[in-house]
């Protein structure tokens, strides 16, 4: 789960902190400001609904009701889900990065955030 300090700082630096929301399956530190909604789970990498959101989609945020909804027809979301599951949907570019042995071990045994982000030896 990526830390989202840079994107929130970028939005604030561009003067968009009060008019643009950031919705992500990433995590936030104490330095976050503005309308930032994080830790969405299940994560996109685990096939969560956030993986179906595309550029240009309208997302309705109702803070009082504690809800977030993408304003896309259910049929369109289903089509996107089928495309994603067939392997023909969006796939992030693989990036080179150093991952320590400890982090690799944790990733192999940790559950997704929607299941508590705890260690699970059952796989």
Tally DSSP H helices, then E strands, for the chain.
3, 4
Which of the following is catalytic: 29, 86, 120, 122?
29
DSSP symbols for 56-76: T--EEEETTTTEEEE-S-HHH
41 catalytic, yes or no?
Answer: no
Q: Which one, of 10, 65, 57, lies nearest residue 36 by Cα?
A: 10
What are 68's strand-pairing partners?
61
What residues act catalytically? 29
């Amino acid at each position: 789960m990526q830390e989202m300090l840079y994107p929130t700082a970028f939005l604030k630096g561009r003067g968009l902190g009060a008019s643009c929301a950031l919705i992500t399956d990433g995590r936030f530190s104490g330095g976050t400001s503005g309308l930032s909604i994080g830790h969405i789970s299940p994560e996109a990498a685990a096939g969560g609904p956030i993986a179906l959101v595309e550029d240009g989609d309208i997302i309705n945020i109702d803070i009082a009701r504690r809800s977030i909804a993408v304003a896309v027809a259910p049929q369109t979301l289903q089509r996107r889900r089928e495309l994603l599951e067939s392997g023909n949907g969006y796939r992030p570019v693989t990036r080179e990065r150093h991952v320590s042995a400890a982090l690799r071990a944790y990733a192999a045994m940790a559950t997704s955030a929607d299941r508590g982000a705890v260690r699970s030896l059952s796989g």
